[in-house]
Structure 1
């Protein structure tokens, strides 16, 4: 790929903070208002939101053609609302699979059955949406608005610094090194964020490993199951997530003790099948057909990351780069979209000030962004950690207490709203009881 050309460098240009050894040729620099590093849902949504507000963006995507590793497909009702606000919901509607209920079974008995339509919000139903479809829709919408240049494959290898102020990114591309000079740089590059590390914000990060890892796989969908349901199956201290996928399969997240994959693999593939069947006996045939080698599985290391400061002069983090969450209740994509929706108007406003992008205006914008978003992230993290502890209770008295708690939750719609609304409906206010669900499929 040949890097886009730009104007000749000005005098007194910023310097890079991490020079490379034996690096390829350096191309003409690119000048923009915002450089977004990372082409996942958060980065793509932010680029779209900024172009809708008239700002110029350069987006770096590390993987050519959006060929990304296994990622979550679950969008909460609030995530659906955010897509509607970005103007892309209609683009993806025919590819989305609505979910109507959440079911938890413990010890072979159903203890919780949540009906999403019972919640008093305009957008009530979660959807499953393949991430390539979502990313393509966000990219197409941004392209139609104009103002967004995408470099792919391109990875950030350094930041441009002018004293304490970050003024852009040095990116490695197949055509050589490109400097993207920007008034604001956004790290949307995930749980192992390069921008977080390069900017020094990693020093304020606290990583908390959870007690489990997750082995992900896809299986044929059993004929007897309701395709409109999320399922959690618990057996003593073991549990698994069973999520309908848009391709007609069921995505399975099997939780195993932290670091125990090698032990599980040494026991053979039948040991994996046995664990699946222990949680969901009706999946015996599907497990045998769907997982014929370990290459049919993917391991996700489960941890949370709490970054004390999401920003430094000229740079800000969003999504997993700022606050890595666990896969419980499918919060990662939704918080990335919410971050993009919150940051875009603040950043656009700061860039629109006289002598746009002044450090003081940008600093106030990113500080306001963190103030607005960190409470919601904290609530989701707390709920996830409580659920993680509940799922892993193994002793008979503790498991009996867990079943009692879930049955109490099942019996009380008011308690369901109190517990689940912060996860599924954080940005919505109750709608009139008679209002129809806004996510209803047109079928």
Structure 2
């Protein structure tokens, strides 16, 4: 067994079989609630460690309206290490290499240049998230200890005294129970597990919401994010193949008013803010095509309780600013897998001693600092850029910063690193790695 500074442990023990009885309820070693990026990455990694793992996903498939389709350089590197990058790279996707903001006198300012990053894949890939999840789920299904149960909506937790020993769920076949040595909540900001636990959280005020929609266009918009700010409105255009994914920002609590104005006014606002799309806005058929996101920013003070752990948005709801929430959730999953794999294999989360519970605190300790730093950056951007833009005739980056970046463009690697890599990036455990990544990996 080897332990490194990143809390990585090589698995060296045989897998424990499931208890076939468990009082009539099925049992697994680790129950993961939620088949999003965090849940499936954690499930894949633990399964490659030989841990018996069951992922419960409330939907029948992954074909639903995801808003976060960003795959950051650290996640691309993870796919490489897991032997999945070539399959990912074959998916239809676009690449973002720069972030550009409007500057004074109509001149755009390059704020972040991902191509300057010294990583294997120096860009952000934009891919429909259902394609990414299908890829990870297929890879996990090749592991004999992995099970994915779709149309299983977790409704609460099962307790034995103060300890969580599994989950209750509803499915087309009826209500059921799944017992587990450890339950991991990866079911997002509206997590049923998080609600059942009642863990204390710190809430941060957010004054805006986001409306997501797509504009079909035959005109390519390059490889840059295109934020636009003007007269109380903000929009971010994300170039995709054959269309642009748009995030329109507005004051929180105004969704009803936006919809009362109707689709014609909405199209006109889009054309004014994004004139390069003016000829295509009629493709927004109705307000039903515009999805409202209630933006939240919070984090649990305690991510765990006896027998249960929260990671990803279930532990820390993120703002969509920077698209970093997915990357942070994936990094949580990698860290959790490295720390939890051997204790799960040894069975230290079950039995009378249950000495494995303290291991859960190690996951929180490792991932708290990155969460705090990223949320602090998001709150700064909210206060200094987004809210002033929504409340006035527009804002631009500080003139001193503009002059500095134009004089020293190499500095654009700093925001690129913060967004694309982030603090404390995690590496795939050695026991989860497989050949078959990219040629550059």
TM-score category of the 2 structures, normalised to the smaller one: 0.7 to 0.9
Are 1:86 and 2:95 counterparts?
no
Are 1:103 and 2:100 counterparts?
yes
Please, which of 169, 194, 197 is the counterpart of residue 195 of structure 2? 197
Deviates more, 1:42-51 or 1:362-371: 362-371
Distance 1:412 1:237 in 2: 31
Greater RCO, 1 or 2 (C-alpha within 8 Å, sep 6+): 2
CA distance 1:62–1:301, shift in 2 (3 Å): same
Are 1:77 and 2:77 counterparts?
no
Deviation at 1:123, TM superposition (A): 3.3
CA distance 1:307–1:250, shift in 2 (3 Å): same
Deviating beyond 6 angstroms after TM superposition, the runs of 4 or more aligned structure 1 residues are: 395-398, 438-442
Which residue of structure 1 aligns with residue 317 of structure 2?
324
What per-residue deviation string (whole Å, max 9, x for no partner) do you get for residues 106-126 of structure 1?
464312253311223333211
Are 1:243 and 2:238 counterparts?
yes
Provide TM-score, normalisation by structure 1: 0.85
Is the contact made by 1:48 and 1:86 (CA closer than 8 Å) also made in structure 2?
Answer: no
Please, which of 333, 353, 360 is the counterpart of residue 326 of structure 2? 333
Are 1:269 and 2:280 counterparts?
no
Deviates more, 1:162-171 or 1:273-282: 273-282
Deviation at 1:41, TM superposition (A): 1.0
Provide TM-score, normalisation by structure 2: 0.85
Is the contact made by 1:231 and 1:242 (CA closer than 8 Å) also made in structure 2?
Answer: yes
Task: Give the match's secondary structure for 1:59.
Answer: strand
Deviation at 1:414, TM superposition (A): 5.4
CA distance 1:360–1:31, shift in 2 (3 Å): closer
Task: Give the match's secondary structure for 2:366.
Answer: helix
Tell me the number of residue pairs that the alignment of Structure 1 and Structure 2 aligns.
408
Is the contact made by 1:189 and 1:321 (CA closer than 8 Å) also made in structure 2?
Answer: yes
Which residue of structure 2 aligns with residue 434 of structure 1?
none
Distance 2:263 2:403 in 1: 35
Which residue of structure 2 aligns with residue 169 of structure 1?
167
Task: Give the match's secondary structure for 1:323.
Answer: coil
Which residue of structure 2 aligns with residue 314 of structure 1?
307
Please, which of 388, 392, 396 is the counterpart of residue 387 of structure 2? 392
Which residue of structure 1 aligns with residue 6 of structure 2?
none
Distance 1:356 1:38 in 2: 21
Distance 1:57 1:251 in 2: 35
Deviates more, 1:31-40 or 1:155-164: 155-164
* Aligned pairs for 1:7-26 within 5 A: 7-10=20-23
Q: Which runs of 5+ in 2 are unaligned?
A: 1-17, 427-436
Is the contact made by 1:104 and 1:112 (CA closer than 8 Å) also made in structure 2?
Answer: yes
Please, which of 287, 290, 300 is the counterpart of residue 297 of structure 1? 290
CA distance 1:113–1:346, shift in 2 (3 Å): closer
CA distance 1:229–1:211, shift in 2 (3 Å): same
What per-residue deviation string (whole Å, max 9, x for no partner) do you get for residues 67-102 of structure 1?
433331111111212222333222211113222222
Are 1:367 and 2:361 counterparts?
yes
